[in-house]
Amino acid sequence: MSYLAHIGIIFSIYAILAVSLNLLVGYTGLLSVSQAALFGVGAYTAAVLSTSFGFGFFTILFFSICMGIIVSFLSGLLLSRFNGDYYALVSVGLNVIIINVFRNWDSVTHGPLGIYGILKPNILGTKLISNESFFVLAIILLAVTLLISRFVVKSSFGRVLKTIRDDEQIIQVFGYKTLNYKLFIFMISAAMASVAGTLYASYITFIEPNSFVLLESIFILAMVILGGLASLRGSLLGALVLVLLPEALRFVGFSPDIAAQMRYAIYGLFLILFMLYRPQGLVGGYKL
């Protein structure tokens, strides 16, 4: 039971990340490869606040969302000027720079040593120690994220995003300042990633820079593409498959060294096959 809850928690965290990234890639057409870094910003904010001040969970969540919004606002000002593969490239750069900050800002982040001893969530006085109770928290936050995403996607704001994805120049002709839209959705996406980060930090109770490197961003992207672009259901599906896969592989009995590499081989293979034969993903509505 405890193990199922563990899987459920990991799934919820990645599902939030996949959904947040899909808003950028699937609905707005921005190939962002820095979601893991934003995930990290949320996680580190939560970690620092937890270990230095011992705040309650929702206080920490609030601040970590704020931090995510600030970081995404500043970097978004830069990023939103680009599109297509240049956007991807600059977002790679963003990921690298943020990781560098995690690794070198020793006084706050403890550098490569990471931060440990993060407290499990403290909600109005009760501490969520068991996996099962944490899972409930995680699922609730996932549900909230989904609702907000659905709202965004179905709104007129969401329609503008899709037009930007399909033909940015047309909509600029009509007087829409696309830069502002791209910036705003980036901030929403980052806020959600911060939620995932806070959950992650409070659950694993230990974080370090390596959890948020470029390869992780690629992993999240793979989930989105696999499940299907521009489909919230797709992101859930993609997260489910890619989270279950390593767990399943673990039990197949590959020696531990090989199992980890087999994961990456399979992700890579999925990416290639999907690009060749089904670029819209399993249930997606849009091809890259």
Partner 1 sequence: MDIIPQVAVNSIIAGSIYALVAFGFNLIFSTTKFFNLSHGIVIVFGGYIVFFLSRNLELNLGISIPLGIIAAGGLGFLLEKIIFLPLRKKKSSNMILLVASLGAFAVIQAVISILFTNQFTSLSSGNISKTYSAYSAFFTETQIFLVITTILILVFLSVALEKTFLGKAYKAISDDEEVAKIVGINTDKIIGYVFFIGSALAGITGIFMGFDTGLEPSMGLPLLLKGIIASIVGGLGNIYGGFLGAFVLGFAENFGIIKISSEWKDAIAFTILILFLIFRPKGIINK
Partner 2 sequence: MNTTTKTIVWVVVILAVIWVGYSLIKSSEQSSTGPIKIGFIGPLTGDAANIGQSSRAAIELATDEINKAGGINGRNLEVIYEDGQCTGQVASNAANKLINVDKVPVILGGLCSGETSSFAGAAEQAKTVVLSYCSSAPAITNAGDYIFRDYPSDLYQGAYAADYIYTNLGKKKVAVLYAKSDWGNGIKDVFSKKFKELGGTIVAEEGYEQTSRDLRTQLTKIKAVNPELVYFLGYTEASIPGIKQAKELGLNIPLFGGDAWDDTKIWQDAGTAGEGAMYTVVYTPLTEEYKNKMGDNAATVCAPQAYDAAHLISEVMKKIGTKTEDIKNELYNTVYTQGVSSEEIKFDSNGDLVGANYIIKVVRNGKAEELK
> Which among partner 1, partner 2, none contacts residue 56 (Cβ within 5 to 8 A by kind)?
none
In this chain, which stretch among 19-27, 78-86, 243-251, 269-277 interacts with partner 2, using CB under 8 A?
243-251
Cα atoms found within 13 Å of the Cα of residue 207, Cβ hemisphere only: 32
Query: How many Å is the maximal CA-CA distance in the chain?
Result: 59
- Closest to partner 1 by CB, 135 vs 286, is 286
What is the closest distance, in whole angstroms, from the C-beta atom of residue 280 to partner 1 in the complex? 11
What is the closest distance, in whole angstroms, from the C-beta atom of residue 279 to partner 1 in the complex? 6
In this chain, which stretch among 13-21, 41-49, 83-91, 236-244 interacts with partner 2, using CB under 8 A?
236-244
The answer to whether 12 touches 34, Cβ cutoff 8 Å, is no
User: Can you say whether the dihedral through the CA atoms of 164, 170, 176, 177 is positive or negative?
Assistant: positive
What is the closest distance, in whole angstroms, from the C-beta atom of residue 236 to partner 2 in the complex? 10
Q: Is residue 129 close enough to count as binding partner 2 by CB under 8 A?
A: yes
What is the closest distance, in whole angstroms, from the C-beta atom of residue 48 to partner 1 in the complex? 20
Q: Is residue 256 close enough to count as binding partner 2 by CB under 8 A?
A: yes
Of residues 17, 103, 183, 195, which one binds partner 2 by CB under 8 A? 103
Cα atoms found within 13 Å of the Cα of residue 109, Cβ hemisphere only: 21
List interacting residues with partner 1 (CB under 8 A). 31, 78, 81-82, 84-86, 88-90, 92-93, 96-97, 100-101, 103-104, 214-215, 218, 221, 225, 257-258, 261-265, 267-272, 275-276, 279, 287-288
Taking CA atoms, 53 is separated from 47, 59, 69, 285, in Å, by 10, 11, 21, 45
> Which among partner 2, partner 1, none contacts residue 31 (Cβ within 5 to 8 A by kind)?
partner 1
In this chain, which stretch among 19-27, 38-46, 133-141, 250-258 interacts with partner 2, using CB under 8 A?
250-258
Q: Is residue 139 close enough to count as binding partner 2 by CB under 8 A?
A: no
> Which among partner 2, partner 1, none contacts residue 90 (Cβ within 5 to 8 A by kind)?
partner 1
- Closest to partner 1 by CB, 96 vs 152, is 96
**Residue 184 to residue 80: CA distance in whole angstroms:** 10
What is the closest distance, in whole angstroms, from the C-beta atom of residue 117 to partner 2 in the complex? 5
Of residues 68, 114, 121, 158, which one binds partner 2 by CB under 8 A? 114
- Closest to partner 1 by CB, 120 vs 263, is 263
> Which among partner 1, partner 2, none contacts residue 129 (Cβ within 5 to 8 A by kind)?
partner 2
Of residues 47, 153, 183, 237, which one binds partner 2 by CB under 8 A? 237
